[in-house]
Amino acid sequence: MSAIASRVLSAGVLLVWAAVLLYFELSGRVANYLHPAFHFWTFSSAVVLAAMAAALLLTRPSDSDAPPIRWPARLFGTGVLVIPLLLATWISPSQFGATAVWNRGFVQDVGDLAAYQPPMDPPLPREDGSIGEGEPMNPSLYLPRNEKGQLQAEAIDLLYAAKEPTLRPDFENKEVEIIGQFLPARTGNADGDRFNLVRMFVLCCAADARPLAVTVKAAPGTSFPEMEWIKVTGRATFPVESGRHTPLVIADHIEPTEPPPETFLY
């Protein structure tokens, strides 16, 4: 009886994990937690765990030399495996809040970013698709625009443009539309007219996410709830501050918006 109960309990824990993994995968929430390269493995794990649970329930014990069951430890382990998982699944808002972002600190120099490399190597292709020998491609071919003709830039585009003189003309003094999460500026904001527009850059999973921040200049007192998704349209500039070019968007219009389909940048 004890062995059967233990087997059913094990199968139950495996099924809970399989269900949670499957839920994240099928609901699309997994995209807010993991790099796309890991999605397949999460889904596969769910399938394997479910299959293992089914096999446990449908097969006769193998008579192997299993260690004796210690029920107190067993029940404690089951609690550790199930309760935090379900609680965290329920509580987790699928994005970091302001506390974690402040604690991690902003990346405002793309050179501090993992795997940063200058963008001119290898040469970009010509408009007809042939390899241009060192010629930069017409930016209109790789930079999307909205219906008003404004460049739809990402935070990482502007950080690269600040760092790389060859990319800067693609954005400097151009009208841009950029989406990110609002955080107030705690430093360098003597006139009270600046805030940070934040996007998370991820290598593997949200735990290694680093907040990329672009400074936005707007009417003094402009404010939104911390980490609310907003869309900013305005002019991209790259003034020299603290000895280096930094991206600064002079905002014309700011409005709350829905999160983009991919909340992470990779």
Partner 1 sequence: MSPGWFQFSAEDFSYAFISVLLEGVPFILLGTLVAGVIDQFLPSKTMVRFLPRNAFLGICLSAAMGLFFPMCECGVVPVIRRLIAKGLPVSNAVAYMLAAPIVNPIVAVSTYAAFRGQAAAEFTFLRLGLGFFVAVVAAFAVHNLTVGKVLRREVIESATLQPDAGGVAIRPFGRRLVGALESGVRDFLDVMVYFVLGVGVASVFSTAVNQEIIIPLALNEWTAVGSMMVLAGILSLCSTSDAFIAATFTAFPGTAKLAFLVFGPMMDLKLLFIYSAVFRKLFVAGLAVGLFVFIGLICVRLGVLGI
Instruction: Please give the residue ranges that form the binding site for partner 1 (CB under 8 A).
Output: 10, 13-14, 17, 21, 24, 30, 33-34, 38, 41-42, 44-45, 48-49, 52, 55-56, 59-67, 77, 80-81, 84-85, 87-89, 91-97, 99-100, 102-105, 111-115, 117, 186, 203-208, 210
Cβ at position 27, least distance to partner 1 in Å: 13
Shortest separation between residue 21's beta carbon and partner 1, angstroms: 7
Shortest Cβ 46–partner 1 spacing (Å): 9
Nearer to partner 1, 51 or 137 (CB): 51
Q: What is the largest CA-CA distance in the chain?
A: 76
Closer residue to partner 1 (CB): 77 or 169: 77
Q: What six digits make up the tokens of 206?
A: 């949200």
Under DSSP, the state recorded for 125 is B
Q: Which is nearer to partner 1, 15 or 143 (CB)?
A: 15
Question: With respect to partner 1, which residue has the nearer C-beta, 113 or 265?
Answer: 113
Beta-sheet pairing, 151-153 with 175-184? parallel
Ramachandran class of 208: left when φ > 0, alpha when ψ lies in -120 to 50, beta otherwise? alpha
Cβ atoms of 170 and 139 within 8 Å: the answer is yes
Six token digits for residue 6: 């233990």
Cβ count within 10 A of residue 150: 18
Would you say 125 and 132 are in contact if contact means Cβ atoms under 8 Å apart? yes
Please report, for the chain, how many H helices and E strands are present, in that order.
Answer: 6, 9
As measured in angstroms, the least distance from the Cβ of 112 to partner 1 is 6
User: Closest distance between partner 1 and the C-beta of residue 45, in Å?
Assistant: 5
CB of 244 to partner 1, least distance (A): 13
Q: Which is nearer to partner 1, 113 or 176 (CB)?
A: 113
Q: Which is nearer to partner 1, 210 or 231 (CB)?
A: 210
